[in-house]
């Protein structure tokens, strides 16, 4: 009987020991709280294991002796946890990032087996690149969260910060698993439709619903245009991926072997597809290249998944980590479209007294429709908002979210709503916006720009001013802006006022009337330097060069007829009253005059094929071209019969393009050409922009003096190149500094016809010598070459310029050094 009881007890013990056990859980990043997809989960002692899905979830069932489960993933510290005694258990893991160091791989004989896999994947790039589709449409859900992290004790001890945390303590303190506080400052959700067509390549996103909450966010319409999927698109079938305006080389680019090493880890089953799992390593740690894991389909050699990180050692400023995770699904025609993407960008502390920043982007594609290409007119606006884009309740979001919000995200929403109402937060956020934009919103008007509040120069002495404009809250059809200034030395009032009527926001059609009375400078006109505000402000401080009173009235019209094609036209009546010793010969009776008036009719065309433009309240904002150049042609006609003193024609052409040179960095060039027909005083000629300041600017010839040369026909080329670490990353002692080499070349051909030379007398009526202008030899170009270093202490740049021609000119500067400060990544 004892033996029978012993046998029964042993049987029950064995059956209990080998009972079926189910465990599930989620694997997340301990610093960010984000899920870690594709992590390896293994039940020790059973051989049972799997990879987490894109949301970091896993679920395993096993029988047998097992007491622990282990989770591991490259770039993270492996973690093991005990398994309890219950049949169904939830075991979550929070992995802490580890410092990733490149390992040396030695292959004793033959080629690295991973190379042949990569070679075949590269050969099939065109077959799987979504850009080969004629047209497609996707429905996307995009979620963005921005947090302040790395909140140090020294930062939290500030009085202003303590006022904030005291309020937040009453809600909930969000921390990462290391106990460090994070402060969420922005959260958005967007439902949109994305449209693409090839030949010509055009893109458009229609934001159907958007919910935006954030510190300093006053108008959701502007922000909603940049929170959709169009700005979070990463295609690894391109050779180069543009991230934060930097070019990163894809692991399956044509030049993969120049930038990467690979290690074939194993073969794994991803869904129903058997895949190669490969480790990716940059050959040089400072290159803008990725490290991490990619999965390639064994049968088709298509990308299945990517989990890639830009290492901290890469030649970037402020960025501690860029992480991109993607799942890709084939369309019915073969090319792949990401079904889910997650991007993390971690910005580190600039100093111990500051905090860091963490931006998280998530996009899920709900549906893909392959269709015939839509007409090019459909793509007029790169981003478009539905009229009711902001009218959606919580029931709508619950139905349309791909995944429900986590408890942490719900807490984040509550904290952001509270943060933006705290007075000290509103004060600092509005202050930063005021400094960045120049305007301070106060109800339905904005005060500014602050650059007009005060100045000092030799003509006006101390100058005080005040300005304001209406904003979107006042009207989405009318924009009114004006400022008034007074010089205490010249005792003159100056002003500028304009009224703009927005006739059509879809095709951006506007009609504007503008009236101005200002002190301007020959060759440094405010209108031509409007896009270079810092240089303009510097040129108007101190000594003014050839100043004059400019009084103008303008009537301007513009309309975008189709995507990128903008037509401009207008009429301008202007008076030139010199404040320096200036005379010219009148066309008809050849009498000396110092003052003249012009009546000018203008028309212009601008075309940017792939330029991304959004509507920022009542203004258009350009994000620049991606690939194609921007063209601009302008024509002006001086009309004597309409009250002007001078009859003339002016024709100009402008071209700008950004060129990705791959391994060698990024180039930018500008071509500017023009011709003035007719006899005119030299202020109407093209007075080429020189630079006598200490500061570097791309808009000027940096070894040329102010007002040194003028032309009535000219062509110039300004070329600049950033090597992005290509040269200095390869010098052992230099690469730790993360300096970057730059180069410049500026070339100018120009001439002046005799009639415009003779138009300028040598003496005024009193017999005093007059200021004139320099002329270029039509057979001899003006040339300057430059080189320099940027990213010195992350902020500073030094350029050295050599003037190669016209060295015998009076006051010529054969060599100059220019400095500048910039914030670049």
pLDDT in tens, 640-671: 999 899 999 999 999 999 888 877 888 999 99
User: Region 819-823: what's the mean pLDDT?
Assistant: 82
Which pLDDT tens digit goes with each residue over 24-33?
Answer: 888 888 877 7
- With 60 as the cut, is the pLDDT of residue 13 above it? no
How sure is the predictor about 478, in pLDDT bands with cuts at 50, 70 and 90? Answer: very high
- With 60 as the cut, is the pLDDT of residue 622 above it? yes
- With 50 as the cut, is the pLDDT of residue 11 above it? no
The dihedral region occupied by 563, where left means phi > 0, alpha psi between -120 and 50, and beta the remainder, is beta
In whole angstroms, give the CA distance from residue 102 to residue 292: 11
Q: What is the mean pLDDT of the chain?
A: 84
How sure is the predictor about 111, in pLDDT bands with cuts at 50, 70 and 90? Answer: confident
Sign of CA dihedral 579, 584, 588, 590: positive
Question: Two tokens at 368?
Answer: 């893909």
**Closest residue by Cα to residue 69 from 21, 29, 33:** 21
User: Region 180-190: what's the mean pLDDT?
Assistant: 77
Lowest average pLDDT, out of 381-395, 431-445, 810-824, goes to 431-445
> Scanning the structure block, which residue is given the tokens 């009609």?
511
The more confidently predicted of residues 346 and 335 is 335
- With 70 as the cut, is the pLDDT of residue 350 above it? no
What separation in angstroms does the CA of 521 have from each of 208, 258, 277, 682, 752?
Answer: 48, 52, 64, 13, 21
How sure is the predictor about 14, in pLDDT bands with cuts at 50, 70 and 90? Answer: very low
CB distance 350 to 323 below 8 Å: no
- With 50 as the cut, is the pLDDT of residue 298 above it? yes
What's the confidence (pLDDT) of residue 180? 53
> Scanning the structure block, which residue is given the tokens 């109800």?
443
**Closest residue by Cα to residue 617 from 771, 778, 440, 477:** 477
The more confidently predicted of residues 458 and 773 is 458
Question: Two tokens at 194?
Answer: 């994305």
User: Region 187-211: what's the mean pLDDT?
Assistant: 88
Lowest average pLDDT, out of 234-248, 292-306, 500-514, 591-605, goes to 234-248
Which pLDDT tens digit goes with each residue over 404-420?
Answer: 887 777 777 777 777 76
How sure is the predictor about 537, in pLDDT bands with cuts at 50, 70 and 90? Answer: confident
- Percentage, residues of the chain above pLDDT 90: 36
Class of residue 526 by CB neighbours under 10 A (exposed 0-12, middle 13-18, buried 19+): middle
In whole angstroms, give the CA distance from residue 125 to residue 99: 32
- With 80 as the cut, is the pLDDT of residue 149 above it? no
The dihedral region occupied by 806, where left means phi > 0, alpha psi between -120 and 50, and beta the remainder, is left
How sure is the predictor about 170, in pLDDT bands with cuts at 50, 70 and 90? Answer: very low
User: Region 142-148: what's the mean pLDDT?
Assistant: 85
- With 60 as the cut, is the pLDDT of residue 155 above it? no
Residue 222: half-sphere exposure toward Cβ, Cα within 13 Å: 16
Sign of CA dihedral 374, 476, 143, 149: positive
What's the confidence (pLDDT) of residue 228? 64
450 CB-near residues (< 8 Å, 6+ apart): 434, 435, 438, 439, 440
The more confidently predicted of residues 170 and 219 is 219
Nearest 5°: phi and psi at 778? -60, -25
Question: Two tokens at 586?
Answer: 């009148």
571 Cα distance to chain centroid? 35
Radius of gyration of the chain, Cα coordinates, nearest whole angstrom: 32
The strand pairing partners of 616, in sequence order, are 619
The end-to-end CA distance of the chain, in Å, is: 81
> Scanning the structure block, which residue is given the tokens 């090019």?
376
- With 60 as the cut, is the pLDDT of residue 153 above it? no
- Percentage, residues of the chain above pLDDT 70: 87
Which pLDDT tens digit goes with each residue over 766-817?
Answer: 888 887 888 999 999 999 999 999 888 878 899 999 999 999 988 899 999 9
The strand pairing partners of 469, in sequence order, are 446, 481
How sure is the predictor about 571, in pLDDT bands with cuts at 50, 70 and 90? Answer: very high
How sure is the predictor about 8, in pLDDT bands with cuts at 50, 70 and 90? Answer: very low
Could you give the angle at the alpha carbon of 757 between the alpha carbons of 588 and 579, nearest 5°?
80
691 CB-near residues (< 8 Å, 6+ apart): 697, 700, 701, 702, 703, 704, 706, 818
Type and span of the H or E element at 136? strand 135-149
How sure is the predictor about 578, in pLDDT bands with cuts at 50, 70 and 90? Answer: very high
Q: Which domains does the chain have, with CATH numbers?
A: 2-95 (2.60.40.1120), 652-825 (no CATH)
What's the confidence (pLDDT) of residue 181? 59
What's the confidence (pLDDT) of residue 177? 40
- With 70 as the cut, is the pLDDT of residue 763 above it? yes
- How many residues are given for the chain? 825
Which pLDDT tens digit goes with each residue over 702-738?
Answer: 999 988 999 999 999 999 999 887 777 777 777 778 8
């Amino acid at each position: 009987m004892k033996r029978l009881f012993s046998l029964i007890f042993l049987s029950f013990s064995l059956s209990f020991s080998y009972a079926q056990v189910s465990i599930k859980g989620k694997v997340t990043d301990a610093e960010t709280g984000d899920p870690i997809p594709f992590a390896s989960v293994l039940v020790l002692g059973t051989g049972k294991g799997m990879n987490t899905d894109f949301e970091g979830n896993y679920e395993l069932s096993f029988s047998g002796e097992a007491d622990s489960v282990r989770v591991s993933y490259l770039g993270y510290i492996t973690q093991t946890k005990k398994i309890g005694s219950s049949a169904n258990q939830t075991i979550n893991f929070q992995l802490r990032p580890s410092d990733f160091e490149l390992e040396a791989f030695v292959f004793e004989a033959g080629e690295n087996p991973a190379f042949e896999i990569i070679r075949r994947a590269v050969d099939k790039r065109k077959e799987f690149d979504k850009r080969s589709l004629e047209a497609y449409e996707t429905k996307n859900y995009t979620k963005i969260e921005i947090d302040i992290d790395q909140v140090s004790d020294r930062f939290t001890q500030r009085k202003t910060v303590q006022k904030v945390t005291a309020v937040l303590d009453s809600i909930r303190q969000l921390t990462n698993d290391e106990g460090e506080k994070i402060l969420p400052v922005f959260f958005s959700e967007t439902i949109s439709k994305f449209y693409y067509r090839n030949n010509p390549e055009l893109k458009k996103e229609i934001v159907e619903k958007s919910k935006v909450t954030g510190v300093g966010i006053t108008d959701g319409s502007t922000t909603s245009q940049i929170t959709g999927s169009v700005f979070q698109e990463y295609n690894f079938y391109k050779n180069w991926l543009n991230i934060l305006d930097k070019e990163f080389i894809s692991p399956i680019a044509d030049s993969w072997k120049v930038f990467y090493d690979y290690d074939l880890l194993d073969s794994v089953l991803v869904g129903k597809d058997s895949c190669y799992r490969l480790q990716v390593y940059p050959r040089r740690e400072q290159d803008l290249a990725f490290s991490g894991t990619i999965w390639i389909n064994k049968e088709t050699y298509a990308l299945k998944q990517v989990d890639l990180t830009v290492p901290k050692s890469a030649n970037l400023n402020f960025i501690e980590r860029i992480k991109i995770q993607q799942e890709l699904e084939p369309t019915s025609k073969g090319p792949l479209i990401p079904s889910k993407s997650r991007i993390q960008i971690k910005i580190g502390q600039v100093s111990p007294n500051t905090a860091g920043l963490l931006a998280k982007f998530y996009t899920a594609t709900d549906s893909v429709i392959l269709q015939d290409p839509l007409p090019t007119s459909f793509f007029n606006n790169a981003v478009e908002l539905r009229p009711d884009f902001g009218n959606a309740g919580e029931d709508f979001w619950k139905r349309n979210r791909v995944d429900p919000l986590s408890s942490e995200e719900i807490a984040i929403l509550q904290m952001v709503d509270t943060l933006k109402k705290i007075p000290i937060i509103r004060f600092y956020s509005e202050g930063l916006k005021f400094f960045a934009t120049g305007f301070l919103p106060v109800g339905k008007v904005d005060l500014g720009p602050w650059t007009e509040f005060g100045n000092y120069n030799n003509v006006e002495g101390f100058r005080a001013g005040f300005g304001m404009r209406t904003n979107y809250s006042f009207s989405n059809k009318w924009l009114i802006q004006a400022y008034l200034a007074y010089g205490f030395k010249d005792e003159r009032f100056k002003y500028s006022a304009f009224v703009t009527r927005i006739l059509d926001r879809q095709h951006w059609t506007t009609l504007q009337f503008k009236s101005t009375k200002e002190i301007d400078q020959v060759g440094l006109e405010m209108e031509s330097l409007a896009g270079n505000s810092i240089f303009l402000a510097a040129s108007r401080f101190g000594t003014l060069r050839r100043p004059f009173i400019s009084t103008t009235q303008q009537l301007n019209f513009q309309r975008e007829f189709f995507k990128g094609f903008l037509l401009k036209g207008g009429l301008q009546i202007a008076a030139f009253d010199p404040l320096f010793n200036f005379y010219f010969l009148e066309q008809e009776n050849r009498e000396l005059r110092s003052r003249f008036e012009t009546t000018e009719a203008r028309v212009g065309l601008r075309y940017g094929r792939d330029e991304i433009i959004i509507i920022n309240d009542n203004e258009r904002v350009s994000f620049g071209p991606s690939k194609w150049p921007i063209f601009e042609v302008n024509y002006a006609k001086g009309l004597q019969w309409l009250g002007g003193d001078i009859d003339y024609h002016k024709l100009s052409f402008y071209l700008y393009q950004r060129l990705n040179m791959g391994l060698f960095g990024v180039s930018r060039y500008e071509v500017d050409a023009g011709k003035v027909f007719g006899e005119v005083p030299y202020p109407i000629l093209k007075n080429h922009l020189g630079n006598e300041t200490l500061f570097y600017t791309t808009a000027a010839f940096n070894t040329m003096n102010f007002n040194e040369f003028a032309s009535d026909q000219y062509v110039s080329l300004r070329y600049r190149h950033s090597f992005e670490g290509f040269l200095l990353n390869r010098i052992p002692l230099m690469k730790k500094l993360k300096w970057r080499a730059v180069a410049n070349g500026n070339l100018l051909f120009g001439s002046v016809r005799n009639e415009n030379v003779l138009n300028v007398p040598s003496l005024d009526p009193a017999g005093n010598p007059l200021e004139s202008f320099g002329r270029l030899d039509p057979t001899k170009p003006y040339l300057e070459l430059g080189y320099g270093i940027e990213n010195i202490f992350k902020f500073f740049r030094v350029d050295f310029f050599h003037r190669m021609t016209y060295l015998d000119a009076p006051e010529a500067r054969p060599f100059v050094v220019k400095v500048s400060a910039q914030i670049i990544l």
